Chain A
Amino acid sequence: MSLTSHHEARSLSGAAADVTTKAARRRSYLGTLRRQPAVLLALVPALTFFCAFWLLPFTRLVAMGMQPDKNSGMIAYWAVVAQPQYLYSLLWTLLVSIGVSLLAVATAGVAGFFLARNRFRGKAMLVAMLTFPLAFPGVVVGFLVIMLGGRQGALAQFSMLLFGERWMFAYSLAGLFVGYLYFSIPRVITTVMAACEKLDVSLEEAARSLGAGTWRVTRDVIVPALSPALISTGAICFATSMGAFGTAFTLGTRMSVLPLSIYSEFTNYANFTMAAALSVTLGVITWIALSFARRLAGGSLGASA
């Protein structure tokens, strides 16, 4: 008896609340309309700054890429795909970035899933150590690769001890690859751990109760459920690797990745049209990758390295 009356009272008060919220919503809607111009004023400083220092300059950069390249005489955007040295640079960068993203998602995906699912002593420490390099700028990552694979690096010391010769990889493609992997791993781990928190464990239990083994559950339940997060974090790693200037610059690689090509066109040859065309191309690629990632995950911003 008391239960029903309680219930009734609740639904009554609910209805009353509904009426008031409706009225309030209408009132606030009118209020918003009336306040709108004043509120939009608050956007003016940020938008002015953005237009003056980014939109306008970048539009000019886009326009500049339409001018003929001073070496080949072609429209600079066309030269990006028609001139072998630029095309190779572009394809090379794409290839390295895709490779790094796949490897980072695979390794850090396993580690991230493991960390999200298990509790053990020292876990917090492990997570902290895996994620704090997230904020290292590209130059520092380049230097850390030198610490690993440079002339006096860990590998060189190790191989000197065992074989009496110094092994190095820092200044080759492998060094670049390791560097990109280094700044990709923390990004993937944080994303995967966050995504695991939201996983529906009952699906796994259901699969298990139907007799699926660990491998089967992983392949058919966990990976598909995590795939939006995995793809989106992979896309962020891809975009970051594409634009990673600092790491490549520190390693001084002969490998002409796109950011280094842009830099040398600009500073060594003063070929501004080509530098503009290449950087707009690069910008469009990373922008597409990042918007794709955001659409999938609707979360993090993705910073550059």
Chain B
Amino acid sequence: MKRRGLFYCQLGFTVLVCLFMIVPVVMSVLAGLTENYFIGLSSGLTLRWVEEVWRLYSDTIRLSIQLALACLVLTLLLGVPAAYALMKSSRRWANAIEEALLLPVAVPGLATALALLLAYGHHRDFRDSWLFILVGHVLFTLPFMVRPVLSVMRASDMQRLEEAAASLGAGFRQRFLGIVIPNCVSGILAGALMVVTLSVGEFNITWMLHTPLNKTLPVGLADSYASMRLEIGSAYTLLFLLMIVPLLITLQWLGSLVTRRH
């Protein structure tokens, strides 16, 4: 029965780690809903701070959604054809190119943003528009679209399917839209969710590239943490969680679905 003791030891340890992860989140959520956090929960629960955040920062939420969707469209347009070409080319080339596309993820966002600023910062119109941030987000998220799509394409024997279609007289367009795309939907979906999640949460690049008129959600969060009372920062974090957690749950569910099928 030594094993049983060990089991409870490990369980206790794991629960402790879990508490470390979850307690601050719960505290933050509660703080965002408390009338006065300094006094405590006895001051009553309220949605006042959430409303306040909405009044102050709804622009940032709108911009973040807009950026995430634009980023998704661009990564789809750039990433899916790229994955297709990588599948068709030799492994060595494909790996080298994939490695290159991964560089903006491997190098800290600060460095990527600095490089962008020093190279394109003097184009005022471009620098001041939200498109400048979009470029950073696409660089950062593109590999997360290419990778899952490429691995699904490789797993599903695309070559054979395409040849069958070609022998039946399907042209390239017909093959790409009718065979290739439908066969890697699960990869595209996983990539899309990942891209949106990362784009909504991206801070390191965005903080360097943002302007006072173009603030995203994480930029607004940093702003509120630095200059607003704790309740407002917490309520804002709560809104962020409400946006990101459903995306994460879907992503996990999708992941388990794919592994179960294989």
Contacts and interface: CB of A to CB of B under 8 A. Distances in A.
A78 interface: no
A242 interface: yes
B2 to A, nearest CB: 8
Contact of B115 (A36, A61, A186, A245): A61
Interface residues of B, number: 89
Interface in B30-67: 31, 37-38
A40 B82 contact: no
How many chain A residues sit at the interface, stated as a range, is 35 or more
A253 interface: no
A249 B119 contact: no
Interface stretch (A4-12, A42-50, A82-90, A226-234): A42-50
Given A129-B21, A143-B233, A243-B204, A50 B139 contact: yes
Contacts of A41: 85
B69 interface: no
A120 B143 CA distance: 37
B112 A58 contact: yes
Nearest to A151: B230
Given A43-B82, A46-B78, A262-B114, A139 B221 contact: yes
Contacts of A32: 88
Contact of A287 (B15, B106, B207, B244): B106
Interface in B96-129: 97, 99-112, 114-116, 118-120
A105 interface: no
Interface string A271-305: 01001100110110011001100000000011110
Contacts of B258: none
A152 B108 contact: no
B14 A114 contact: yes
Nearest to A281: B111
A53 B110 CA distance: 14
A152 to B, nearest CB: 6
Contact of A272 (B10, B110, B118): B118
Contacts of B142: 46, 49-50
Given A126-B15, A139-B218, A246-B222, A301 B24 contact: no
B28 A143 contact: yes
Given A45-B78, A61-B118, A246-B222, A301 B204 contact: no
Nearest to A107: B17
Interface string B5-23: 0110011011101101111
Nearest to A108: B17
A55 to B, nearest CB: 8
B85 A40 contact: yes
B147 interface: yes
B110 A262 contact: yes
B105 A302 contact: yes
Nearest to A148: B24
Contacts of B233: 143
A214 interface: yes
A251 B34 CA distance: 23
Nearest to B29: A147
Contact of B218 (A45, A132, A137): A137
Contacts of B139: 49-50, 53-54
B135 interface: yes
A60 interface: yes
A38 interface: yes
Given A49-B78, A114-B13, A135 B244 contact: yes
Given A43-B86, A137-B202, A182-B21, 9 more contacts: A53-B139, A61-B115, A110-B14, A118-B7, A129-B18, A143-B225, A144-B25, A214-B2, A246-B218
8 nearest CB pairs, A to B: A243-B108, A57-B119, A42-B81, A57-B115, A283-B107, A279-B111, A144-B24, A46-B82
Interface of B: 2-3, 6-7, 10-11, 13-15, 17-18, 20-25, 27-28, 31, 37-38, 77-79, 81-82, 84-86, 88-89, 97, 99-112, 114-116, 118-120, 135, 138-139, 142-144, 146-147, 159-160, 163, 166, 172, 197-198, 201-204, 207-208, 218, 221-222, 225-226, 230, 233-234, 237, 240, 244-245, 247-248, 252
